[in-house]
């Protein structure tokens, strides 16, 4: 096929429509290039439940073996299970998934040994250049001694590792949650027909939990709803089921199950910032009340406040996993969280795992008597807008108009770590350009709803006006 790699090689991964934008022969070239750029003599691969994933993953393995690398295939897995394998086996890895994208998409998330990220600045640009060269002049000659391809099961070890990091043995339903009548924490899990249906049964097995599964059948055509819990319409089924079951909480995983979203016993969404603060408090307690916690610049003010209250040091970063992981490595941070429900742990090779964050929420809930809504209220202190997208003809011009409107106003600070952040005593907003669409993304937080509405409306009028 005549592939345009500029369309499918993104900032952090490869992603596009199959077979229109990429296919198995192209995946084979990516496998060869991955081995050449990493210099690896062995790698590990895994894939999600999309119909195209086994074929693409197998082709990548052939390409890697053709360059002399031994390939360990772990087969069906979540993205964080692949990161586990990369860390535990100390091998570079490749995960075949398009995360929450629709069924016709697929992609590759690549990492170096120890789950270290591969992005544009850390090898992905070189991989693209090699593949483009081979597309133009012919595939590389096979090496004299090709590598082997073998299968390995890692789900059991992955589950055991996660459970070694959180004590769930003594959890019980909150006193206000005895409405279920049982002695176990009742949790509804919506896997969205994604890889949570593969990992949750093994991770939760034997725990004092009453599990109510939703959409656990692995189906890459997503027959029930998109596997993107960040979109409110995709958690409606979960919210209704939590209320109907009178459950203690609900969890929703995205397609490759690396992100986890939480709803409380009333079916109300729990902000990922509140989850970040809760997990940060627990990780700091595990580490003797000291340590660095990374948060991106559009998480709530609550996060750095809680980190300081617990004795830790908060560090603010740009949005994006490559920035979080780099800062975690630089600072030796114990934990990091993003507004998008990505949670990163030092004890998980600085990689993100929504499953471990979910176990922390379960442990926190089951270790005290309050319902989840009361427990998380202490970590959810401000009014937030969520992310508001505006389609604009000229991102730079619209952003400049906003900057000039706030520059010079008394009592404000402006910074451009990532887009434009304007901070006042009782509110802040961040305005960032999308890398892939003609959008400006606005996030606003304030001490009360009235202030939030005023700031939000003023900025949107400037952006859209």
Strand partners, 152: none
Please give the full DSSP string across 180-231, using - where no structure is assigned. Answer: G-SSSEEEEEE-TTSTHHHHHHHHHTTSSEEEEEES-S--TT-SSS-S-TTS
Tokens of 347: 């004890």
Three-state DSSP class for 169? coil
- Residue 80's CB is within 10 A of a number of other CB atoms, namely 28
In this structure, is the dihedral angle defined by the CA atoms of residues 347, 330, 34 and 434, taken in order, positive or negative? positive
Beta strands in 258-339 (DSSP E): 260-263, 269-270, 292-296, 313-317, 335-337
Closest CA to 14 of 135, 139, 110: 110
Closest CA to 236 of 225, 248, 220, 247: 225
Alpha helices in 215-271 (DSSP H): 236-245
99 belongs to the catalytic site: yes
**271-to-80, 228, 386 alpha-carbon distances in Å:** 21, 15, 9
Q: How far apart are CA 243 and CA 173, in angstroms?
A: 16
Strand partners, 294: 315, 336
Whether the Cβ atoms of residue 373 and residue 266 lie closer than 8 Å to each other: yes
* Largest distance between two CA atoms of the chain: 70
Among 99, 271, 300, 302, the active-site one is 99
Phi-psi region of 426 (alpha: psi -120 to 50; beta: other; left: phi over 0): alpha
The radius of gyration computed from the CA coordinates of the chain, to the nearest angstrom, equals 22
The catalytic residue positions are: 99
């Amino acid at each position: 096929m005549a592939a345009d790699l500029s369309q499918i090689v993104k900032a952090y991964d490869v992603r596009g429509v199959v077979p229109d934008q990429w296919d198995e022969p192209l995946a084979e070239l990516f496998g060869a290039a991955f081995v050449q750029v990493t210099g690896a003599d062995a790698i590990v691969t895994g894939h999600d439940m999309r119909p195209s994933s086994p074929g693409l993953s197998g082709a990548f393995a052939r390409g890697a073996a053709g360059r002399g690398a031994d390939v360990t295939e772990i087969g069906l897995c979540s993205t964080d299970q692949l990161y586990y394998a990369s860390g535990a086996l100390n091998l570079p890895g490749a995960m075949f998934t398009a995360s929450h994208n629709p069924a016709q998409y697929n992609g590759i998330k690549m990492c170096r040994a120890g789950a270290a990220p591969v992005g544009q600045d850390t090898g992905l640009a070189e991989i693209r250049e090699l593949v483009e060269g081979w597309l133009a002049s012919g595939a590389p000659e096979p090496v004299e001694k090709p590598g082997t391809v073998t299968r390995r099961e890692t789900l059991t070890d992955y589950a055991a590792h996660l459970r070694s990091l959180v004590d769930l043995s003594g959890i019980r339903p909150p006193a206000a949650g005895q409405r279920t009548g049982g002695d176990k924490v009742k949790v509804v899990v919506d896997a969205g027909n994604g890889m949570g249906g593969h990992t949750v049964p093994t991770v939760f097995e034997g725990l004092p939990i009453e599990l109510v599964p939703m959409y656990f059948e692995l189906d890459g055509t997503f027959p029930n709803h998109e596997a993107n819990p960040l979109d409110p319409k995709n958690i409606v089924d979960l919210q209704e089921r939590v209320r109907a079951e009178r459950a203690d909480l609900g969890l929703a995983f995205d397609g490759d199950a690396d992100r986890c979203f939480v709803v409380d016993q009333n079916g109300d969404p729990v902000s990922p910032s509140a989850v970040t603060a809760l997990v940060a408090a627990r990780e700091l307690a595990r580490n003797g009340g000291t340590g660095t916690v990374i948060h991106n610049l559009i998480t709530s003010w609550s996060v750095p406040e809680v980190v300081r209250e617990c004795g830790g040091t908060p560090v603010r970063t740009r949005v994006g996993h490559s920035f979080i992981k780099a800062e975690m490595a630089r600072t030796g941070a114990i934990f990091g969280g993003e507004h998008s429900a990505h949670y990163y742990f030092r004890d998980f090779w600085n990689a993100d795992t929504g499953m471990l964050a979910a176990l922390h929420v379960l442990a926190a809930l089951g270790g005290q008597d309050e319902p989840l809504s009361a427990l998380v209220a202490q970590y959810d202190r401000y009014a937030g807008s969520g992310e508001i997208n505006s389609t604009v003809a000229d991102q730079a011009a619209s952003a400049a108009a906003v900057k000039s409107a706030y520059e010079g106003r008394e009592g404000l600070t402006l910074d451009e770590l990532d887009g434009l952040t304007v901070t006042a005593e009782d509110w802040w907003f961040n305005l960032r350009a999308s890398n892939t669409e003609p959008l400006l993304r606005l996030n606003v937080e304030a001490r009360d709803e009235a202030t939030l509405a005023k700031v939000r409306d003023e900025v949107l009028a400037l952006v859209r006006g």
